[in-house]
Amino acid sequence: MSALAPMAAAGAVVAVLAVVVRPDHPRPDRRRPVPATAAPGAAPGSAFRAVPAWFARRAVDADLAPVERWWTGARLAVACAALGGWRVGGPTASVVAGLGAAGAGVVVLAALGHRREDRLVRSVPEALDAVARACRAGASVHQALRGLAQVDVGPAGPLLAEVATRVDRGRSLDGALADLVAAHPVPPVRLAAVALLVGAETGAAPARAVDGVAATLRDHAALDREAQALATQAKASVAVLVLAPVGFGALAVAGDPRVATFLFREPAGMACLAVGLVLDALGAWWMHRLVRRRR
C-alpha cells in the first residue's frame, strides 16, 4: 500500500480527536480578520517568524501569549517528532509522527480554546449587577456603563465601558451595543445588550430589567456547568478508548525494532496501520456522537 494511506488515516484521526476533545462552548465569530503577526525584530515576510491567522486566532482565544513564541515552539515540536519518526521507521514513520505532533497541537488549542470568551461570559452577570446598582442609585444606563471603567467586574466591565465611550463620541447606544455583539456573538452578551437597550429606551425601572437578565444568565451558567460535569466522565472514557491503541502501538514500536520495520516499511504493515487508524477514527466519531446525544 502506498505511504499516502497511513498519512490520510492519521489525518482522519487528528480531525476526529480535535472534535472529540473540543469543549462545547459558544464559538466566537471566526470571520473577524486577524492579520498574521511577526515576532519583534523579524524581517518582513519572514516565513519562519510569521504566524498564520488561524493560529493567531486560536492562540488568542486560548490566552496563549506571546503568540510568536508558541508558534515557533509548535513548529520545532513537529520537526523533532518527524526527525524522531524518521530515525525509528523511515519516511512513513516520519510522516505519521509529524502529523501526530501537529494533531496534538491542534487538539491542545481546541481544548484550551474559548478561555477568553468563557471569562467574558462568566463576568457578564457581575457587570450587569454593577449597572443595576448604579441605576438604583439614580444613574442612567449610559452613566452606569461609564462607571464600569472604575470597578473590577471582569472582562465584561471594560467592554461595556467602551460602549459608553463610543456613545460619548457620537455613536448611538443601539449602534455601540450592536458593535459589541458583533465582536462577541455569544448569547450572554446578546441578552445583556438587549436588556441595556430596553432599559435605556424605556427609562422605566432599568435596574429591574438588568437584574432579571443577570439572574437568567446565572441560571443558564449553572445548567451549563451541570451538563459539562455529567458529560466529563463520558468524554474522558472516549479519549482513553481512542488514545489507548495509539499509545500501545507507540510503545510496541519503541520496544521492538521489528514492529517498526513491519508497520512502516512493509506493504502489509502499512496496510494494517492504515486500517487500524481508520477504525480508531470511526470509533472516536461514533462514541462522540453517542455522548452528544446523551447530554
pLDDT at 211 over 70: yes
Q: Which range of residues forms the domain containing residue 160?
A: 117-223
- Name which residue leads in pLDDT, 256 or 292: 256
- pLDDT tens, 44-75? 444 445 777 877 777 776 667 778 888 888 88
Q: Are residues 53 and 91 in the same domain?
A: yes
Q: Are residues 190 and 202 in the same domain?
A: yes
Q: Are residues 104 and 135 in the same domain?
A: no
Q: Are residues 212 and 249 in the same domain?
A: no
The confidence band for 117, taking pLDDT boundaries of 50, 70 and 90, is confident
Q: Are residues 213 and 121 in the same domain?
A: yes
Q: Which of 82-91, 204-213, 253-262 has the lowest mean pLDDT?
A: 82-91
Q: Are residues 65 and 106 in the same domain?
A: yes
Whether residue 108 contacts residue 55, with contact meaning beta carbons closer than 8 Å, is answered with no
Which of 223, 242, 257 terminates a domain? The answer is 223
Give DSSP secondary structure letters for 271-283.
HHHHHHHHHHHHH
Q: Are residues 177 and 158 in the same domain?
A: yes
Give the helix, strand, coil percentages of the chain, each rounded to 5.
80, 0, 20
Q: Are residues 35 and 166 in the same domain?
A: no
The confidence band for 4, taking pLDDT boundaries of 50, 70 and 90, is very low
Q: Is residue 188 in some structural domain?
A: yes
- Name which residue leads in pLDDT, 127 or 14: 127
Q: Are residues 166 and 205 in the same domain?
A: yes
Q: Is residue 163 in some structural domain?
A: yes
Q: Is residue 228 in some structural domain?
A: no
Q: Are residues 100 and 121 in the same domain?
A: no
What mean pLDDT is predicted for residues 13-18?
A: 46
d(CA 103, CA 109): 10
Q: Is 222 exposed, middle or buried (0-12, 13-18, 19+ CB in 10 A)?
A: exposed
d(CA 142, CA 140): 5
Helix ranges restricted to H, the chain: 4-21, 53-61, 67-112, 115-136, 141-147, 156-168, 173-183, 187-202, 206-255, 257-265, 267-293
Q: What is the pTM of this model?
A: 0.56
Among 4-18, 21-35, 136-150, 253-267, the range of highest mean pLDDT:
136-150
Q: Is residue 88 in some structural domain?
A: yes
Helix ranges restricted to H, 204-256: 206-255
Q: Are residues 155 and 58 in the same domain?
A: no
d(CA 223, CA 241): 28
Q: Are residues 103 and 240 in the same domain?
A: yes
* Residue 143 Cα to chain centre, angstroms: 34
